[in-house]
Amino acid sequence: MRKPYVAGNWKMNLDRAGAVKLAQEVARQSDGRGVEVGVAPPFVYVSAVSEALRGTGIHVAAQNCYYEASGAFTGEVSPGMVLDAGADSVIIGHSERRHIFGETDEQVNKKVRSALAAGLNVILCIGETLDEREANKTESVCERHTREGLKGVAAEQMAKVVVAYEPVWAIGTGKTATPGQAQEVHAFVRGLVAKLYNKQTADALRIQYGGSVKADNALELMSQADIDGALVGGASLKVEPFLAIIAAAQKAKGL
């Protein structure tokens, strides 16, 4: 069975003390039984959160990185810097990066390959807008994001990749894809990865759902066969709801 993975994307929230306290409380109160747990603080707090979580087994992720190792790229952070700050993972291609900051599929792919080459784990985000869903383009958009995002990634590197399906229309809106809608896309993506690589790679791939995941909908979502965890936004900013989502993952997978 694929080990479920619940990760909290804190986005541009919290201060240093609040980030450290939240991380410490998640570590203290979560038994983590059978579930991988991760948090993605703002980059300026990655070192402090990494230090607070040392030895706990909880992953620390950056929310983004650049694809060059160094150079005149003001404001950017390289994969090596992410590692040096104490993180072991990075979120790449989040819809906010694509739609607010204009990241292209080509840029996302460069970041994925650079992060993997540096030794980071990658959470690759994919997902359609409301207009694309209403135009019946969900599968074509998710296929493009997946195919282009993984271009040049070898099968043996896929063990360090998690895909997060995040319908853009459900992020921060309070709207959530129904479990059936989410499962349909997750199954489609798994089938696509089987075509791009092989069945063994596809069966091992973990696909998270993200988009207004809360304590009261997490169990039903993660009970679906192809949903292997959650990438959680707002609900990860407080200990109790985040722990409830982790517990939902345990219950959903019979752990």
Q: What is the pLDDT of residues 44-87, one digit of tens each?
A: 999 999 999 999 999 999 999 999 999 999 999 999 999 999 99
Cβ-in-10-Å burial (0-12, 13-18, 19+) of 53 comes to buried
- d(C-alpha 145, C-alpha 126), whole Å: 6
Q: Both tokens of residue 15?
A: 């201060």
Q: Is the pTM of this model over 0.95?
A: yes
Q: pLDDT above 70 covers what percent of the chain?
A: 100
Residue 174 reports pLDDT greater than 90: no
Point out the residues that are catalytic: 94, 166
**Among 22, 36, 200, 198, residue whose Cα is nearest residue 121:** 36
Cβ-in-10-Å burial (0-12, 13-18, 19+) of 1 comes to exposed
| Beta carbons within 10 angstroms of residue 231's beta carbon | 28
Domain boundaries, the chain: 5-252
- d(C-alpha 58, C-alpha 36), whole Å: 7
C-alpha atoms less than 13 angstroms from C-alpha of 125 in its C-beta half-sphere? 26
Residue 176 reports pLDDT greater than 80: no
Q: What is the pairing mode between strands 59-62 and 229-232?
A: unpaired
Average pLDDT, the chain: 96
- d(C-alpha 207, C-alpha 67), whole Å: 23
Pick the CATH number of 5-252 from 3.40.50.1220, 3.40.1500.10, 3.20.20.70, 3.40.50.970: 3.20.20.70
- φ and ψ of 102, to 5 deg: 75, 25
Report residue 177's pLDDT band, with 50, 70 and 90 as the boundaries: confident
